[in-house]
Structure 1
């Protein structure tokens, strides 16, 4: 157990409420709860069971190692390996009851050999279609050839067929409509070749929060005699995608961030006008300046681009980062915050209340400063930051 005073708190009540909000926003489709990348940095061992308890039957992970860890936490859930399998992984996928996505004939050969060795007559997979993202999936001009390869692999049962949209948050982008058409065409061509899945799925958080898209996917499933599913990730953890284009939806303010990242003041000092702080002396005091030292740095995931630009919350007020974020330590300016003392809580991400003030820093805010997306901010929080269940059972802001 780490005694270092830097940690992240995970609010399971908020996670459950976010799932319920998405469930209500996407009628007619099932939700696969995406818990890859250690639940977007939130700790899959904590989050996956809470999502299953909330009604999620399917959990999405990236790879075999993630799948095994989630299987240990959720023995009865369906777990999809969204980035497929690599050489030698099929046997472990079968052993742990994981469902791989396939799109290469090499995947089929790996599964066929492992299933035959284990005497398994039918092992479920999901086939991915490349409807226009050109990342992974069977290209449209290879549908029939891949279906023929499936027919030569009797150990494999195609339970699901999926695709991935490249710009679902751009609501007036005709590319998403074209991708849906391509997916529809692929399903029809697979059916003609005798491949009839019981599940079709596509889309992410943006899809789940766009009623027209969830209706389209539900209709596609109905057309092909299959259940429909979408795969939200980021929104489960309290952040809505940044929609754009004509008819863009307003940000869903009901979603609440699940993770709060905190540390404590471990040292205080005052520097005089003209003195500097941090590596390369990028902070210069213009007046007597009170500095607080925090035991957190870029090795924990606090991006160096926040140097002299970001802030933390102390006593419900913003304390600007003073100088460079270093590997293990960060200095903040608390000159204008009364009464700061050793041991005071500093919030890097999350909310903080004080006697007369309340403030919040979100992953969206940090992403804007860093020139990135909130996904990266959350996933970058390092493994030496322990994740703990928040003491506040209500998880309210």
Structure 2
């Protein structure tokens, strides 16, 4: 039961429209008759939008694959998406292999102990399909997770491939990599990483393994478009299909591109056709007027220069409204901006509504989203905080209920 007047509205319409637009763009950038799969990334609680809300909507719109962070997230996704293929994108840990089998999850693997855990789990239970599908992560330059390529002696990748080839319990269904800078148009790092992926695919082909999927690319890859057909052709060399993994763009935000290409003023790719999915809202719970020189909030970092009307909002940094927005950010009241006055508290925030006539207790306030003809988006908050929109969205706390609308 949620009675506190703080909530996040999740637009079903916008989420589905974004997915369909991304799928259209993927198909637009490949040769006639070719196909590309679009995996919907719902990790990190669907980038703060609510995994349980977003996953079934995306599956219903045609997303056969969902990407989650962990086995725990995979279990939650399986509860609402019984037929989806669910990729666990951060590998597995001790004690998680049984859940992978039980809930029919597909893990990314790259460490030998991942194989040990999965093979040991199969000895304790029968596998309906005869083997566990796994996707092998290749580290082509991110230096984060994956089997490193190039591998000067070929020992590590060779050992993993041999294990997969010889194991009756494991089936190599996919091969993945993660580009470190896909938002840099014509970036040299991405070109090098693609070459490393090509090297890995040649090694996999030489081993006799034939994965069904090759996935390498995210929102930036999909929206930029020029990398899609070369990647598809690379996958086709071993009879595989290309899969792309958009995340941020599903929720209405294009990455900020740099380098050559057609860019909008704020650095996003022009014509992305995406719509923000989340609107974060609250209500005015108290009002007061202070005189010139009086302070507001902890340590009185805001001091009134005139008679000032202040509105109290029942949310703070424990809800994900960053303290870095203190005395810098604003909210929307009656379709106008109300500056944040003083330091954001754990559970409360004060805003200055002096120049907004008629504000009353109970009035709706928009923290993130549109009101009237004015909008505050995650780019704006990220710029004020010195971060990226991903963090703004993911930081919205679990205690803020996600409410599906339209």
- Please, what TM-score do these two structures have when normalized by structure 1? 0.96
Q: Partner of 1:22 in structure 2?
A: 22
In 2, distance between residues paired with 1:253 and 1:105? 41
Q: Shift of residue 253 of structure 1?
A: 5.0
In 1, distance between residues paired with 2:370 and 2:352? 19
In 2, distance between residues paired with 1:88 and 1:270? 57
In 2, distance between residues paired with 1:109 and 1:252? 47
Q: Partner of 2:32 in structure 1?
A: none
Q: Partner of 1:165 in structure 2?
A: 179
On the 8 A contact 1:234/1:375 being kept in 2, the answer is yes
Q: Unpaired runs of 5+ in structure 2?
A: 28-34, 264-268
1:242 and 2:256 aligned? yes
Q: Partner of 2:314 in structure 1?
A: 295
Write the mapping of 1:212-231 to structure 2, written as runs, cut at 5 A.
Answer: 212-231=226-245
1:39 and 2:46 aligned? yes
Q: 1:244 to 1:178 in 2, by over 3 A?
A: same
CA RMSD of aligned residues (A): 1.0
Q: Partner of 1:10 in structure 2?
A: 10
1:370 and 2:389 aligned? no
In 2, distance between residues paired with 1:351 and 1:369? 18
On the 8 A contact 2:328/2:384 being kept in 1, the answer is yes
On the 8 A contact 1:38/1:44 being kept in 2, the answer is yes
On the 8 A contact 2:37/2:244 being kept in 1, the answer is yes
On the 8 A contact 1:168/1:206 being kept in 2, the answer is yes
Q: Partner of 1:279 in structure 2?
A: 298
In 2, distance between residues paired with 1:316 and 1:103? 51
- Over residues 265-300 of structure 1, what are the superposed CA-to-partner deviations in whole Å (9 max), with x where a residue is unaligned? 000000001111000110010110000000000000
On the 8 A contact 1:171/1:248 being kept in 2, the answer is no
In 1, distance between residues paired with 2:298 and 2:137? 48
Q: Shift of residue 116 of structure 1?
A: 2.0
Q: Partner of 2:143 in structure 1?
A: 134
Helix, strand or coil at the partner of 1:117: coil
In 1, distance between residues paired with 2:221 and 2:272? 17
Q: Shift of residue 152 of structure 1?
A: 3.8
Of 5-14 and 246-255, more deviation after overlay is shown by 246-255
Helix, strand or coil at the partner of 1:260: strand
1:305 and 2:319 aligned? no
Q: Unpaired runs of 5+ in structure 1?
A: none
On the 8 A contact 1:264/1:295 being kept in 2, the answer is yes
Q: Shift of residue 214 of structure 1?
A: 1.3
Aligned length: 387
In 2, distance between residues paired with 1:342 and 1:193? 69
